[in-house]
Chain A
Amino acid sequence: MSKRVGIEVSIAIAEAVGLARAEVIPAYPITPQTHIVEHLSEMVANGELDAEFIPVESEHAAMSCCCGSSAAGARTFTSSSAQGLSLMSEILYIPSTMRLPMVMVVANRAMSAPISIWNDHQDIMVQRDIGWIQTFAENGQEAVDLTLHAFRVAEDRNVSLPFIVNIDGFTLSHVIEPIELPDQEDVDKFLPPFKPRYKLDPRRPITMGPVGIPEVYTEAKVAHDMAMRKAKRYILKAWDEFAEIFGRKYNPVESYRTEDAEILLVTMGSISETAMTAVDAMRDDGQKVGLLRIRLWRPFPSQEFRKAIGKAKVLAVVDRCLPPGAVCGPVGAEIRSLLYKIPGAPKIFSFVAGLGGRDVTVARFKEIVDKARQFAKKRPRELYEVIGVREK
């Protein structure tokens, strides 16, 4: 029987990685991700998990090590945050085009300067285009479930891509939540042993990571892009299988009270729970407001997102990343380009909120919806605003 326990989300993720029977874990600690790899290190030291825990000298080494481990055919896990994730950056592009499956949980954190250990999505938006599959968890249970799902999808021979599960730093990583930890037997059923398409084996030598001359590079990148697009089918299939075994169903885009909604908030990650509370309050006031939550960020679920909009007239997209000098926030830009010149498409307003650990409260969501409604009446070409900034 699976058991529902009160447990810190980071510890629960580590337990999930153990249930997934990870074989190699090269990792370097960084707040707010540390508890995940710390607990895995304990599990290995205590003999509870039969894996190699490699305490590397940096995140750059951690990700390099992950590439070697996956290439050799081992189930591979690591975790990082913010500056640590950025230190991996040089390597992050490599396993994806090389089709090396591995799973990384990123406890999302702001990028310095000024130094901040607190939560937003700037660290992962820096890595938006590394070609990894990326999902965003809303709560602790989802963080555990998406971690198991990530292994299943990444290692699927039809996919064979690295996978990032994003969890909000502190907001998720450091809170204790009631979480159902699945049975080993069920996890084994869901997650068969890793059998890579190709691996480094002296008996059957191959070369991984050769030079791509100009005549080859474009085709290699397009092959990767097409693999990402094709992966969506297997991501959805694995969620269906997950639901059959564990009883919890996940979708690439979640809709909350969107029926007859005129204004839709669009969010990713844990602020979505606050957004739901805000939507409930606004609905009680008779406002036709709903919420769309993006769970699958890469590959972007274009079809599902377009369908989820329904007849909404305004989208208020909330980004937790401020790209200086850009047209708007990265999620806002994605959705604007998705819906550009589609007849009847809603107006898309981009808001930035919740930077560097600042809470996005129910009142803030109401403010965002009010602004979106006002501006929609004035027919501005675009609206892009950082919410809750003190002027003086």
Chain B
Amino acid sequence: MANSDAIVGWKTITFGCHILEPGNAANFRTGDWRSQRPVTDKEKCIKCGMCWVYCPDMAYSQDEEGYFVANMEYCKGCGICAHECPKDAITMVPEEG
């Protein structure tokens, strides 16, 4: 699960600031600076998964009903999914506050 514990001291930071564990971005909330979020209109969605394919952060996963849902801990709000959606089912909505 994601957490925000990327905060380390100079004594414990990795050698040369290397990332020694491949894919460790999954351990951190990488999307908390997002300014807009994708909202899917389930009436229009055909569950084709193009959003899942194009998402550069692998934030999308499929739910039990077969819809693709973006995980807001990783989604950076880039809008690529909305741009690529063949049914225009995804709208980018500004984050409030």
What's the minimum C-beta distance from B76 to chain A, rounded to whole angstroms? 13
Write out the residue numbers on chain A whose beta carbons fall within 8 Å of the beta carbon of B9. Answer: 219
Segment 167-220 of A: residues with Cβ below 8 Å from B = 197-198, 205-210, 212-213, 215-216, 218-220
Please measure, in the bound complex, the distance between the C-alpha atom of A160 and the C-alpha atom of B19, giving whole angstroms.
17
**B18 and A208 contact, CB distance less than 8 A:** yes
Segment 103-160 of A: residues with Cβ below 8 Å from B = 160
What's the minimum C-beta distance from B81 to chain A, rounded to whole angstroms? 23
Write out the residue numbers on chain B whose beta carbons fall within 8 Å of the beta carbon of A100. Answer: 16
Decide yes or no: A219 and B10 within 8 Å by CB, A205-B22, A207-B22 being known contacts.
yes
Please measure, in the bound complex, the distance between the C-alpha atom of A30 and the C-alpha atom of B50, giving whole angstroms.
53
**A219 and B22 contact, CB distance less than 8 A:** no
B13 CB–A CB distance under 8 Å: yes
Q: Which of A99, A213, A222, A226 contacts B15 (CB under 8 A)?
A: A99
Please measure, in the bound complex, the distance between the C-alpha atom of A220 and the C-alpha atom of B7, giving whole angstroms.
11
In the complex, number of A-B residue pairs with CB atoms less than 8 Å apart: 53
Please measure, in the bound complex, the distance between the C-alpha atom of A218 and the C-alpha atom of B13, giving whole angstroms.
11
Q: Which of A98, A197, A205, A226 contacts B17 (CB under 8 A)?
A: A98
B1 CB–A CB distance under 8 Å: no
Q: Which of B7, B15, B19 contacts A210 (CB under 8 A)?
A: B19
What's the minimum C-beta distance from B45 to chain A, rounded to whole angstroms? 33
Write out the residue numbers on chain B whose beta carbons fall within 8 Å of the beta carbon of A220. Answer: 10, 13, 17
Write out the residue numbers on chain A whose beta carbons fall within 8 Å of the beta carbon of B19. Answer: 206-207, 210
What's the minimum C-beta distance from A101 to chain B, rounded to whole angstroms? 11
Please measure, in the bound complex, the distance between the C-alpha atom of A211 and the C-alpha atom of B16, giving whole angstroms.
12
> For chain B, what secondary structure do more than half of its interface residues adopt (helix, strand, loop), or is it mixed?
loop
**B8 and A198 contact, CB distance less than 8 A:** no
Decide yes or no: A215 and B7 within 8 Å by CB, A205-B22, A206-B22, A207-B22 being known contacts.
yes
Q: How large is the interface on B (under 10, 10 to 19, 20 to 34, 35 or more residues)?
A: 10 to 19
Write out the residue numbers on chain A whose beta carbons fall within 8 Å of the beta carbon of B13. Answer: 216, 219-220, 223
Interface centre among B7, B8, B9, B10 (most CB of A within 10 A): B10
Please measure, in the bound complex, the distance between the C-alpha atom of A220 and the C-alpha atom of B19, giving whole angstroms.
13
**A99 and B10 contact, CB distance less than 8 A:** no
A97 CB–B CB distance under 8 Å: yes
What's the minimum C-beta distance from B71 to chain A, rounded to whole angstroms? 20
Segment 49-106 of A: residues with Cβ below 8 Å from B = 97-100
Write out the residue numbers on chain B whose beta carbons fall within 8 Å of the beta carbon of A198. Answer: 15-16, 18, 20
**A215 and B6 contact, CB distance less than 8 A:** yes
Please measure, in the bound complex, the distance between the C-alpha atom of A212 and the C-alpha atom of B14, giving whole angstroms.
12
Q: A97-B16, A98-B17, A206-B19 are in contact. List 15 more A-B contacts (CB 8 A).
A: A98-B16, A197-B15, A197-B16, A198-B18, A198-B20, A205-B22, A206-B20, A206-B22, A210-B17, A212-B17, A213-B6, A215-B6, A216-B17, A219-B13, A223-B17
16 sample A-B contacts, Cβ–Cβ < 8 Å, listed by A number? A98-B16, A198-B16, A206-B18, A206-B20, A208-B18, A209-B17, A215-B6, A215-B7, A216-B7, A216-B8, A216-B17, A219-B13, A220-B17, A223-B10, A223-B13, A226-B10
CB-CB nearest 6 A-B residue pairs: A207-B19, A99-B16, A222-B10, A219-B10, A220-B17, A98-B16
List chain A positions with a Cβ less than 8 A from chain B: 97-100, 160, 197-198, 205-210, 212-213, 215-216, 218-220, 222-223, 226
